[in-house]
Copies of this chain bind each other. A is one copy, B any other.
Amino acid sequence: MNKYLISNFFKDLQNDICKDLEIEDGKSQFKEDLWERTGGGGGRTRIISNGNIIEKGGVNFSAVYGEIPSKVKNYLNVEGKIFFATGVSVVIHPLSPMIPIIHMNVRYFEIDNNLYWFGGGIDLTPHYVNKKDAYYFHNELKKICDKYDKNYYQRFKKSADDYFFIKHRNETRGIGGIFFDRLNEINENKTKEELFNFVKDIGNSFSRIYINLIRENKNKTYSDKEKLWQSIRRSRYVEFNLIYDAGTKFGLETNGRTESILMSLPPQAIWLYDYKPEKNSKEEETLNLLKKGINFLEYE
């Protein structure tokens, strides 16, 4: 299976996810911006906003190639001349604070037609962590992982905890999920096809998992209090993405398309000085669950 086959899968995946989300939202449609990269390749940025369910969301596809910029070589710690990178990135900011924010990325990278790897993951950022959803989400990811490797879930769950961590707040961005990188034949002792099947499975599961989480929570009522908390949690999302997220940093530093990269930011956010939730509130309970190393599978 060559890079074009992989790239075509990602393109189809973008189509499928956009269609699924539009139907579930029932009001708004995605708008598309095509862009080209100086040096080779380009992408399809698709943004939905002001929906019934989704306040702002992006589903991006890109396939870029060309000479490897020296910054990219240093960043990835690789040698070579020509790279090819393709993938899909999804970030959904729902209108209701009772529905979680979700992020997924699946990607493929290749150098000089020989070295390659897959990377990606899915992670969930509930404004309010509830144990039922946390169990559901992690268990669904574990079921997918287990089909391919019995160690994947634990390994990639830990990577997500470590990656989606807001150091200066000493809190995780959300309840994590799975995060993986540099999966290839040498590192994983699996065929390229097996690895691609795993990545496909993750990508194809996105709509089902997120739509179930939407349906589970969309009829929950909320007031100004929950909306305020949502805005505060969104500010932490901004802090993570602008300070720590490797993809964002890398994209901006290598002159990627700013609006496609920053589509991940929430529609709005609030910063209150030294805000602390009330003792024993739902908000405090959520903060207590934004920690590394929690086994959400125990919440069955």
Contact = CB atoms under 8 A, between A and B. Distances in A.
Contacts of A167: 252
* Residue of A33, A263, A269, A272 with most partner-chain B CB within 10 A: A269
A262 interface: yes
Interface stretch (A67-75, A78-86, A111-119, A236-244): A236-244
A292 interface: no
Given A242-B238, A258-B168, A268 B266 contact: no
Interface string A173-204: 00000000000000000000000000000000
A7 interface: no
A268 B234 CA distance: 10
Contact of A271 (B33, B169, B231, B265): B265
Contacts of A268: 231, 268-271
Interface in A44-88: 47, 49, 56, 58
Interface in A231-266: 231, 235, 238-239, 242-243, 252, 258-259, 261-263, 265-266
Contact of A273 (B239, B252, B263, B270): B263
A267 B274 contact: no
A271 B93 CA distance: 12
B273 A58 contact: yes
A252 B168 contact: yes
B47 A273 contact: yes
B269 A49 contact: no
Nearest to A49: B273
Interface in A216-233: 231
A199 to B, nearest CB: 27
Contact of A266 (B49, B243, B271): B271
Given A268-B231, A269-B268, A269-B269, A259 B242 contact: no
A215 to B, nearest CB: 26
Contacts of A266: 271
Nearest to A262: B271
Contacts of A258: 168-169
A243 B252 contact: yes
A261 B238 CA distance: 16
B243 A259 contact: no
Interface of A: 33, 47, 49, 56, 58, 167-169, 231, 235, 238-239, 242-243, 252, 258-259, 261-263, 265-274
* 3 pairs of A and B residues whose beta carbons are closest in the complex: A242-B242, A265-B271, A168-B252
15 contacts: A47-B273, A56-B271, A58-B273, A231-B268, A235-B265, A238-B238, A238-B269, A243-B252, A259-B273, A266-B271, A267-B270, A268-B268, A268-B269, A268-B270, A268-B271
